[in-house]
Structure 1
Amino acid sequence: MTSGLLATSKAVRHSERKSAVSAHDSRAAWLFISPWLIGFAIFTAWPLIYSGYLSLTDYDVINAPNFVGLDNYRQLAADPKIAQSLGNTLYYTVIQVPLHVLVALGLALLLQRAGRASGFFRTAFFLPKMTPPVAIGIMLLLLFNGQSGVINGVLGWFGFQGPSWTTDPNWVKPGLILMSLWTVGSSVIIVLAALREVPDHLHDAAKIDGANSWQRLVRITIPMIGGTLFFLLIVNTIASFQTFTEAYTAYFGSGNTTYSNDAALFYAIYLFQQGFEYLHMGYASAMAWVLFAIIMAVTVVQLVLSKKFVFYLGGHR
């Protein structure tokens, strides 16, 4: 009887000490993450909520917001520039994102074979990522100039007449897409890390079974790094829907008015114009929420499709 009471007492004391330690650890954890929580609340959560309110108002920054309900959203549906800018953005996204992932995969496969030189090439591929986006926009005008650009000069060496990348509306977006590959280096490093995690014995077994390099790539390598490729697909899709700086610098920030730059009018650029050039902040807030809804919908669709097409280690899809 006595021994049972002692055991129960020890168990209670142990439980109390464990609870005290757990509470102490919890307080310490909240203390350490509190700077981030405060920053998130002030600089992310509150602006997000307030922009939702502004989307229901007529606000020009100078005067107090005037509540107008859903008028801004109705105006969005009737604004031809919205359809044009969304079309440009979708065109850019549909081509740029798969191309970005394919180029990153191809360069990573080459780096995997580089041996001791891979360190140098990893650095060389990643360095362009450090280039400021504004500089990339300026480089686009220099490299893709129809008369004296480097790209057309190189094409001329092989007997091809290069297009007017920066003035022909049909070639403005392809030029921006090609220029976006300048910063593919970070994706290359991510894919390379994933490739090095693919078990060698799978390739060895495939070789014994007579599989060639292409079959091993399609049947083993790509499925095994499917999670990484899907991550790049998600991240780059979100980024491409918000593309702004390079196109704005090249086609809107230079003050060039000798030709129409509607072909480079992406949704984020039109949003910026409405909010900060025309001071239609309520309308711009409504545009921002529409963009958020589009990105969210596309991401959800990608997540649903990933369950069928993306393989993860452990056999889970």
Structure 2
Amino acid sequence: MTVMASTTLAQPREITESRLRQALRRNLAGYLFLAPWLIGFLGLTLGPALASLYLSFTDYDLLQSPQFVGTANYVRIATADPKFAAAMKVTFTYVLLSVPLKLIFALALAMAFNRGIRGLPLYRAIFYLPSLLGASVAIAVLWRQLFAADGLVNSLLALVGIDGPSWISNPRYSLYTLVALSVWQFGSPMIIFLAGLRQIPQDMYEAASLDGASKARQFCKITLPLLTPVVFFNFVIQTIEAFKAFTPAFIISEGNGGPINSTLFYTLYLYQEAFGFFRMGYASALAWILVLIIAFFTAFSFLTARYWVHYDD
């Protein structure tokens, strides 16, 4: 009886192992194709992120071994770092100005293109080009030259008798030059808005016109409500990108966030702490605070989306 029972228990185990081997053989090609991404994710994303989380609780300068200090870095950020407050103010001002202006500008052009014009693919490519080039070092250098004291902008203003300031070196205007650069990169949300506008049924506009609705009323009652999923997508993506902005501020301010910290973006301050002062533990803490800020804004956007984003269902 004991031998029969052992044989009976072994048979399901063998069947299960055989099925697992068969499933592994069937999926082997898929696992092989997935392996490069999985190795990259573990080695270049998840691994460094976890290492950064550990370093955020240490004092580390790249020359000596990390010394565990607990929450000291976070306490210092919250209580004894005036540059952190300045960087937060600059970054939030940049996000609150650049994201709405970029979306409004992109939507306006998308609606103009949606009317149907000749050579639309060419115009679409031309207006999309700034989104591809805007984050490059070359464009940031060009932008700095345009808004310099003797740059093209002031030369054009001089033609009409206006003596323009030095936009880059004046703390009253320096941040707004970066906002203008961000708004100039409207191509990506414009293309997405244009795709969304193409999905709105035209018969709804025809029915509204027959009822005497004006163009403004059609926009408020038809276009905008049906376009809210696209607005929501663009808003979340552009907000995340605005929080991560680095290259324009680094190049235009020559890496110091000046004048008077007026262009000290959060990412630029993080860079200074990490590679300027070699405070890697402190910079890691700053990085994780940025992660939490972005996560909070993203979660808040999704939680509030149910009240203003309208889907087909």
2-structure distance, mates of 1:33, 1:224: 37
Aligned mates of 1:99, 1:234 — CA distance in 2: 14
2: CA distance, partners of 1:102 / 1:159: 31
Could you tell me which residue of structure 2 aligns to residue 65 of structure 1?
Answer: 66
- Match status 1:144 vs 2:143: no
Alignment of 1:1-317 (within 5 A): 26-77=27-78, 78-131=80-133, 133-145=136-148, 147-253=149-255, 260-314=259-313
For structure 1, the 5+ residue unaligned runs are 1-17
Q: Cα RMSD over matched residues?
A: 2.2
Distance in 2, matches of 1:189 and 1:288, equals 31
Question: Counterpart amino acid of 1:126?
Answer: Y
Per-residue CA shift, 1:180-224, capped at 9, x if unaligned?
122211211111111111111111111111111111111111111
Q: Which moved more, 1:106-115 or 1:267-276?
A: 106-115
Q: Confirm or deny: 8 A CA contact 2:170 2:259 kept in the other structure.
A: no
User: Percent identical across equivalent pairs?
Assistant: 38
How far apart, in 1, do the equivalents of 2:24 and 2:194 lie?
42
CA change 1:23–1:110 in 2 (3 A) is: same
Q: Which amino acid aligns with 2:123?
A: F
Distance in 2 (alpha carbons) for counterparts of 1:26 and 1:226: 40
- Spell out, residue by residue over 1:140-167, the C-alpha distance to the aligned partner (whole angstroms, 9 max, x if none): 211112x322223334445544343112
Unaligned runs of 5+ in 2: 1-18
Q: Distance in 2 between matches of 1:284 and 1:235?
A: 24
Q: Secondary structure at the match of 1:148?
A: coil
* Matches of 1:290 and 1:184, distance apart in 2: 28
How many corresponding residue pairs?
Answer: 293
The CA deviation at 1:26 is 4.5
Shift of 1:79: 0.3
CA contact (8 A) 1:128 1:185 kept: yes
**Does the aligned pair in 1 maintain the 2:253–2:259 contact within 8 Å?**
no
> In the alignment, which residue of structure 2 is the partner of 1:3?
none
One-letter amino acid matched to 1:123: A
TM-score of the pair, normalised by structure 1: 0.86
